[in-house]
Structure 1
Amino acid sequence: MNPWLIGLLALTALRLAAAALLPVAPDEAYYWIWGRNLQPGYLDHPPMVGLWIAAGTGLLGDNPLGIRLLGPLGLALASVAVARAGDALFPQSRPGKSAALLLNAMPLTNAGAVLMTPDTPLVVFWCLALWAAARLHATGDGRYWLAVGGFAGCALLSKYTAALFGAGLLLWLVADPSARRWWRGAWLYLGGVAAVLLFLPVVAWNASHGWASFAKQGGRAGAGTEFGLRYVWELLGGQLALASPVLFVICALGIGVGVADWARRRSGGVGLLLGLMLPAALVFLWQATGSRVQGNWPAVLYPAACIAAAAFAAPRWQRIGAWIGGGMTLAILLQAAFSPIPLPRSADPTLARLAGWPELAREVEAARAAAGADFVAAEEYGLAAELALHLPREVPVVAISDRWDLFTLPEPPPGRTGLMLRSLRRGEGAPLWPGAVRVGEVLRGRDGVEAERYRLFQVETPPGREPSALLPRPR
């Protein structure tokens, strides 16, 4: 068997093991709720991550591996797509396998392969759309536009950021002389129709819910009102850590050499690669001049950037970058799973996001039973979802906030007494639920290191006064 394929299968097996071993993060637990309440749209994102979780938990149950199953499998498929795309765009040097190796060595990619968030299916379908576009360029077969449109539509069903893939294609079709012929045929437009049809359910859901999701995510776009470089440096520093330093640098150099190569030779393959990166990169940099860009957002840049690095960077630096990135990934996973170094919350994001959820649920259940409360509640959606995932199945879990009005979940019955958790990070303000009475405090942590503290309040379900929902429980 091909050694490269053996390596990919071994890496996928390791990722599946990590997915089974690591605790579920709050955002993952929240998206697990999506998988139990499937809709064409949600306040935060389109529905694809919920569909993936529903498929995984339908096969393996409501556990960490079930929630994350399609992540490692999808990234394996995406790796093959990047390898094939690299070879199609650069048939003489065939850098595809090296590009896939660089992509798989990045801590950011490995986090997306193990933790299930909307970025996971987004990156998978982005890579598949990149492969289809590369095959379109290499073969000249217009039928590949249908695959481009189909995969791009699935990426749009994953996260609105996928619109930047369409912007990249448009730039390529306008700027690259070898691509302009596609305007004269029908296949380009049929591919666009395929993408639009796949995305229409999200549009329909937004139309029937006051355009809630479009308004929320659209409000996050833009560079803010004051120009500055603070967030630009933060963005670049974050990418040095998330992509790993050497890999980030050779990706940036590969893009720079690619721009010079295209300016000199007008190579269609290089033009396509640059077209799919530059709009997104410029949007993120522009936004960072006035507001924070989350570190995971630029993940869509790296499939094409790794192809550019593999095509133009020295093999020696590719190997060094892969070893460093792989070593960083291994260290992060070991810390998340076994915490060999007792780092504080401020220095250990795995402690803040992953640690102590089952233990917290046991402590909360003991407090609920001692108080004789009927249910457990939380204002924070991630905290409520973690409680729903870990508390005993017979204990009702109530989530409190406006976002739950957009779900088709039942409301809690009025007049019941419950126990509500509220993180100390939310400050000293009054809880959302009126009449809450503070009764205690609980701690979440790992091996004696504190991750977070929560106040406990006694509450009563008021009839129709606060948006709330009864969350689904593990089957």
Structure 2
Amino acid sequence: MKLLARPWPLFMFAVGVSLYRYLAWGWLDGISLFHDQAQYWSWSQTLDWGYYSRPPMIAWLIHLAERICGSDAEWVLRTIPLVAAPLATLLVYSLGRRLYDADTGRDAALLLLLMPALSASAGLVTPDAPLLLFWAAALACLWSAVNGNAWHHWLLLGLFCGLGLLSRYSMVFFAFGTLAFALGHPSESRLLANPRLWAAGGVAALVFLPNLLWNLDHEMVTFRHYDEFTRLGESFWHPRAFLEFFAAQFAVFGPIGFGLLLVALAQLPMWRRAPREARFLLAFCGAPLLLICGLALLSQAPANWGGPLYVAAAVLVAAVFRDRRSWINRALVLNAALGVVLYHYPAVLRAAGIPLQTRYDAYQRLRGWDEIGYQAQRLMQEYGDLRLLSDERQLTATLLYYARPLQEPRVWAPPDQPAQSHYELAMPLQAGDPGPFLWVTEPPAATDMLLRFSRFERLPDLVAEPYPGLRRHYEAWRVEGFKGYEVQD
């Protein structure tokens, strides 16, 4: 462990862990891209400053990875978390070493690297990977800035905050943490009067501005999506959502790790009497945790919203328990074991002759989509070079990736209804488009939609059954002569 208290051995260890996870994902049988990941890939084919439900960073990174690797295969997309995790680990180590010492930095870095959320998402292409990286970079820059007040630290802080906002809007919680730190002690209140802090905010705003302008040009569609997702205002009391979010944090940071965090928060003295380092970390883990728990109580909050706060939480736990390292060791061993079990239990079950079942298949959402896409591709070729038509976002995203190559795909997008996906903005079916199309839909097909075409014919269904008990089934229709969305007399 002493060797890992040095930056380069620790970084190489993090690279090794990430490579193991990357290869383990490749060894899993029957795993395909989930619809959200396929959606991000489809966005990357047409670069823009924004998309329907997310800022653009994940699409940009996929595009960059494809250009570097010269391929758009699944293994290329999964290089994004492979690269991001070791860099975030090194940043957490640097932060812990500067706040306390090298041993604390090492323990904090390992707590972050081995936390179950990173193991579970290591093969998933999501905005959480760049968000965690930019959050860690911004936190390290802020600590340097408040201690040295050097211009380059403030400007880098603004840059990383802006890039974080382009990754996921939950980066806004960083501003809440900064405010909590400034107001948490009289000696820190001068931070709000520092013009360099506001300059950093200006840089972040400039970096984020193109996405804001894109949203203004598209009727604030991304922000409306978040508003509909949270359902804020629908009700003012959701104790079950709060309990679900809170309980999920034991799975995000680890059962022992999150327990240690709660103990650390309880053991610290009152906010104003805590050491400056502890107050800094409290501001960026305790304060955001309270805020997100409040949002969960008022509406809902997914478990991954808490992910970035564990950058500071890892350092805090490592610092509070540095004289009781046995607890940190227990947390690390348990988290590592959970990761190994997550990757290899399907192979162990198969070797033992135990059939996989949906009730204990953690990967069931990732199975069967590639086969559905390949079947759709064959139908489009066999029945006269059909163009793809879909009426559901998740299915559309999957088919755009697995049914390639596609010629001018279209989605069902009635003009009198608000857009429900980026595809309805980018590739809507319009009156007068003759087709012919391969319409793929969940059974039973909507009769009123079929009647809006002059000709339609039932084709063989698309069916994938990765194993008994898990079955994906869609109807396929050959349709042409679209007459418009208005009901025909």
Instruction: State the TM bucket, normalised to the shorter chain.
Output: 0.7 to 0.9
> Which residue is equivalent to 2:416?
none
Deviation at 1:125, TM superposition (A): 0.5
Is 1:420 the counterpart of 2:439 in the alignment? yes
3-state SS in 2 of match to 1:114: coil
> Which residue is equivalent to 1:472?
none
1:20–1:64 CA contact under 8 A, matched in 2:
no
2:25–2:343 CA contact under 8 A, matched in 1:
no
Q: 1:308 to 1:447 in 2, by over 3 A?
A: same
Unaligned runs of 5+ in 2: 414-418
> Which residue is equivalent to 2:227?
218
Amino acid at match of 1:391: A
Deviation at 1:269, TM superposition (A): 1.5
Amino acid at match of 2:17: L
1:427-442 correspondence to structure 2 within 5 Å: 434-435=452-453, 439-442=459-462
> Which residue is equivalent to 2:164?
155
> Which residue is equivalent to 2:174?
165
2:57–2:127 CA contact under 8 A, matched in 1:
yes
> Which residue is equivalent to 1:76?
86
Q: 1:383 to 1:180 in 2, by over 3 A?
A: same
Note the alpha carbon deviations across 1:110-154, whole angstroms, 9 max, x for none. 334331111121111111111112223454545422121111111
Amino acid at match of 2:335: G
Deviation at 1:73, TM superposition (A): 0.8
Deviation at 1:380, TM superposition (A): 2.5
Deviation at 1:335, TM superposition (A): 5.2
Q: 1:187 to 1:394 in 2, by over 3 A?
A: closer
Match of 2:276 among 245, 268, 282: 268
Match of 1:233 among 237, 243, 248: 243
Q: 1:287 to 1:180 in 2, by over 3 A?
A: closer
> Which residue is equivalent to 1:8?
14
Note the alpha carbon deviations across 1:1-20, whole angstroms, 9 max, x for none. 85423311211322343465
> Which residue is equivalent to 2:401?
389
> Which residue is equivalent to 1:329?
339
Q: 1:409 to 1:380 in 2, by over 3 A?
A: closer
Deviation at 1:255, TM superposition (A): 3.0
Aligned counterparts of 1:80 and 1:157: Cα–Cα separation in 2: 22
1:134–1:269 CA contact under 8 A, matched in 2:
no
Note the alpha carbon deviations across 1:220-267, whole angstroms, 9 max, x for none. 343641424211221123222333311221122223334x264433x2
2:242–2:297 CA contact under 8 A, matched in 1:
yes
3-state SS in 2 of match to 1:289: helix
Q: 1:409 to 1:454 in 2, by over 3 A?
A: closer
1:423–1:454 CA contact under 8 A, matched in 2:
yes
Q: 1:192 to 1:351 in 2, by over 3 A?
A: same
3-state SS in 2 of match to 1:419: strand
Aligned counterparts of 1:185 and 1:138: Cα–Cα separation in 2: 12
Aligned counterparts of 2:349 and 2:295: Cα–Cα separation in 1: 35
How many residues are paired up? 460
Deviation at 1:101, TM superposition (A): 0.5
Unaligned runs of 5+ in 1: 467-475
Aligned counterparts of 2:240 and 2:208: Cα–Cα separation in 1: 35
> Which residue is equivalent to 1:96?
105
1:442-457 correspondence to structure 2 within 5 Å: 442-457=462-477
Amino acid at match of 1:82: V
1:39-438 correspondence to structure 2 within 5 Å: 39-60=48-69, 61-91=71-101, 94-141=103-150, 143-221=152-230, 222=232, 224-258=234-268, 260=269, 262-265=271-274, 267-313=275-321, 314-334=324-344, 340=350, 342-352=355-365, 354-372=366-384, 374-393=386-405, 397-401=409-413, 402=419, 403-404=421-422, 407-408=425-426, 414-423=433-442, 434-435=452-453
2:241–2:299 CA contact under 8 A, matched in 1:
yes
What TM-score does the superposition give when structure 2 sets the normalisation length? Answer: 0.85
1:8–1:76 CA contact under 8 A, matched in 2:
yes
Note the alpha carbon deviations across 1:356-400, whole angstroms, 9 max, x for none. 232222323344445446123322223222222222425664344
Note the alpha carbon deviations across 1:190-222, whole angstroms, 9 max, x for none. 111111110100111111111111222134343
> Which residue is equivalent to 1:473?
none
Note the alpha carbon deviations across 1:305-348, whole angstroms, 9 max, x for none. 11111111331121111122122222223357897464433542
Percent identity, aligned pairs only?
A: 24
Comparing 9-18 with 427-436, greater Cα deviation is found at 427-436
2:120–2:342 CA contact under 8 A, matched in 1:
no
2:185–2:272 CA contact under 8 A, matched in 1:
no
